[in-house]
Amino acid sequence: MYETLFGSKTRVKLLALLLTNTGRAFYVREITRTIDEQINSVRRELLNLKSIGLVKSNEKKGKIYYEANTKFEFYSELKRIFEKTGKTPTGEDKVTFGIRKSGDISYAALMGAFVGDTASQVDLFVVGEVDKRKMKSVLANLEKELKREVNYCVMTLNEYEDRKMLFDRFLTELMASPKKILIDSLEEETKKEGKEEKVDEE
């Protein structure tokens, strides 16, 4: 319904991200990772929204940041629409979206008690660079559901790759255990490793 109303899936995700994060600015690559859309589509929609005044931009340290323009004529009405529906920018459940927003996440999976695996000592496994403050909020929500403390494990992408190369027993058993995968871009991240551009586009 929203795609029909607003014209495209990318535009809906972009609006949801910006309108539910008032006062926060995002650069293009950050947006593409968060809403999981192609960079050219994101750029096109940003230009469209900027042309009507709903989005504004500013340059900081060589990057162009975009955010919702609170002075736009219908800003309040649009914000209420997206807040009322509770729609996340990626169309994911709130746990997955919360984890994705907690940092630069390459992989996340629910395990252990969440999938009925009593043998597992890990309930949540995450690979990426994590903001502990943001992750704390995610864990609090999971602990409400589990009614106990969540046992979680976080590895950086480099640590994950090193352990994988060494056939680390803990990692091997972890990846072989029952799980519900929430985010998985490990293969894509591995291909990009060492090939990152020196300067982010916009």
Q: Let me know: does 43 contact 28? Beta carbons within 8 Å.
A: yes
* 64/202 Cα distance (integer angstroms): 5
User: Average model confidence (pLDDT) for the chain?
Assistant: 83
pLDDT tens digits for 17-65? 888 877 888 889 888 887 878 899 999 999 999 999 999 999 988 889 9
**Block residue for tokens 């630069």:** 104
Q: Please give the domain boundaries of the chain with CATH numbers for all domains.
A: 2-85 (1.10.10.10), 94-192 (no CATH)
On the 0-12 / 13-18 / 19+ scale of CB atoms within 10 A, 23 is exposed
Q: Let me know: does 34 contact 45? Beta carbons within 8 Å.
A: no
Q: What is the mean pLDDT of residues 133-141?
A: 88
Q: Let me know: does 56 contact 66? Beta carbons within 8 Å.
A: yes
* 27/60 Cα distance (integer angstroms): 10
Partnered with residue 154 across adjacent β-strands are 126
* 198/43 Cα distance (integer angstroms): 20
On the 0-12 / 13-18 / 19+ scale of CB atoms within 10 A, 138 is buried
Q: Let me know: does 171 contact 164? Beta carbons within 8 Å.
A: yes
Query: Does residue 178 or residue 93 have the better pLDDT?
Result: 178
Among the ranges given (46-60, 79-93, 187-201), the one the predictor scored with the smallest mean pLDDT? 187-201
Residue 16 confidence (pLDDT): 84
